[in-house]
Structure 1
Amino acid sequence: GRYLLDDPDTKAILDAYGIPTVPTRAAATPDEAVAMAAEIGYPVAVKILSPDVVQKSDVGGVSLDLDTPDAVRAATERMARRLAELKPDARLDGFIVQAMARNPEAHELIAGAATDPVFGPVILFGQGGLAVEAVNDHAVALPPLNTVLARDLIARTRVARQLAGYRNHPAADLDAIAAVLVQVARLIAEVPEIVELDINPLLADANGAVVLDARMRIAMADRAGNALDRLAIRPYPVELEEVVPWQGGTILLRPIRPEDGAAHVAFFNALTPDDVRYRMFVRVRELQPAQLARFTQIDYDREMAFIATRTGPDGHPETLAVARVVADPDNMSAEFAVTVRSDLKGKGLGVMLMNKLIAYCRARGTREIVGEALPQNAPVIGLVKKLGFTVGPVDEDEGVRKFWLELR
């Protein structure tokens, strides 16, 4: 029967998703608050617990740096009186007792989620604190997030410049902030009952990030449908990952992710100039940031890019080959491209990825797969013939050979 979860309940859910929170307890009476303070350890902060009060400080409902049982008892009794005077109709469910996390070097941030009528769940990040509305510094992104997208979200706010460090203030732990945003996005994606989440403040400094206050609004969800249908962007399809034998070992075939950016640059740099021209149809010396984002940050509903990857000699993942397909809005036709690292051609990677790509398109109901190549690109033309594609003559106007495969 409740649709607004208070701070302790919300933090319990955040804890379950590995989001760091300040130790927090709920107490029904001043005596319980004293007991909870002893359990947490002094000093503590005490706040009123009322479903009818959103901004606790507006009614004198916050006391900080309490370091004795008498101070806790006096603060709770004073809060109860103030609430009765200022909002006599407000319910008082008790008090929140939490460990003090005062750090003058920390940044007060806001993180959370809301539900947009068009795009569904959206993730919010920006500068937080009591003046959050007046500052109005925030950016939004669509879930799911990963580290790359979370850091992009952070970078689109004004507070990002402060988080990078200034004067004698060290830089905040951006990885820790990004990790919170990634887990918030995961929580929102996986639990459709959550329609609003407000974390304010999220304290962040050079040592990490921790949630001080949080609240959550929930609604009944239709479990009969697919919870992922709420999302504007399809999450990473982990079910498409596949470990296969290759060259006496194993490699992983999987969809590409934004985190593959560095490996994709190394893959591109390992291609010969002719292979780059065969793939791009023009000579390109290096990938531009916009091109890299276009190749690695994809909409899995409209396109798919499978990579063959393994752990390289330096311990980092290396990309060996890529097969990509982009469907039209009606999913009638999908255009593909395939590229194998120049030093690994003729070892079966192209056939392996293309078979996976064809099976994926067939499962999605795509009617046909089409592609084109320069006439000199004999390896790709030979590959598609082996896979059953129909190969047309050279198009005199465009200077390419086109090929297609009908999917039954």
Structure 2
Amino acid sequence: MLDWCLFCVLLLPLVQMETTSQLLNLSARNFQLDFLRDLDDLVKQRAELSLNNYLDRLGSNPKNANYTTELSEARATSKFQSKVTLIKQLLDRQPHLATDLEPTFVLRNLIFLNRLKSTLRASKDASNQEIRLMRMHRLCQQFDLKEAHPYQESRLINEETIGKALEQLNLTRSEVNSTGLDLNEFGAQLYERVKLSGAEIIDNYLNILRSMLQDIIEGDQGELAGSSDKLENMLQQLDAMLATQDFFEKRQRVYAYMELQLSTDYENMRDSARSQHLTETLLAQLKAKGLDLFVIFLFSNFEFLDLVHRHWDQLLPQTGSLLYDETARQLYDLQHLYEIFKMDTECEAKYEAYSSALRRLNERTVDQAQRNRHIFELLNNAARNVGTVTFSMIKAKCKELV
């Protein structure tokens, strides 16, 4: 809930926001987050103008002549806390008359801005957490539905079932050889359907890390002063990934950062006591927020896998004449194999049958240089992290959520 201080700044700026930004959809899942981000951006802009204006006033005071460099750096930086710290420092070193209330008002307003920033960040964290829990609950409900309505395994498409189906349709093999399913077009339509939701899944994960780093950077943690450059670099990398629009490119940047830069940092700093302390602080922040990144990662992969297959099923052609087409048969079979595994996630053989079929399809799109092969690569990578052991952990977490 937004407290009174946030409500106060909502009244006037909202009129301006309505005319300068696109109207937010009240039914959108990210309405709260988008609203809070717009408000946060406005607060940062207004606060920075006020802080820089007061820094200019301090700079014009002859008593602060020795702080010209510090004042210039504080005005140039985008770090809110750096500006606040210098203002407090210069106010503390000046004697004040008992009747002069300006320093008191300045300090009071700095406290207000700090409280407002904390309130906004806490509200964004709460909204993110709410969305994440709703998504996890939706995924967990599927296991309850499976127990109530056991899945009847259908036979996979083979020559026998094809022959019988075509006989009923009074079709011959020669009549259907001229038609076929375009794998490239199927991949393009599938990617178009899942790209926005897929990007949201990644962004939700990145926002957890960003919020945590922001808390540490802006917090009063002097023992991490030596790691400030590393933290700022991590924050810039996260911002770059969040700003990436294309879903596949976003995923590639995330994996590249995790696999290359983080592993390099680990090799360079694994023996450093400062690095160990930074890692412990990050983990402590996560624990304090009640977050388990590994569990969230598992759920994210399952969520993406299920998202793709829901649209996959909708895109499969319903015309029986396509049953002779090799591509259509491969796509039908893969959908069946996923549904079979999903109904019995503890069966290693069913998982292996699904993942192997998916791997073969991915290899085929690579060998044929399909233009829209990226969606199959994304799906194949997600499936590697969704096996029988993974689902056991997901189910255990679902029991905790109930």
Tell me the TM-score normalised to structure 1 length: 0.27
Higher-helix-fraction structure: 2
Higher relative contact order (CA closer than 8 Å, sequence separation 6+): 2
Tell me the TM-score normalised to structure 2 length: 0.27
Higher-strand-fraction structure: 1
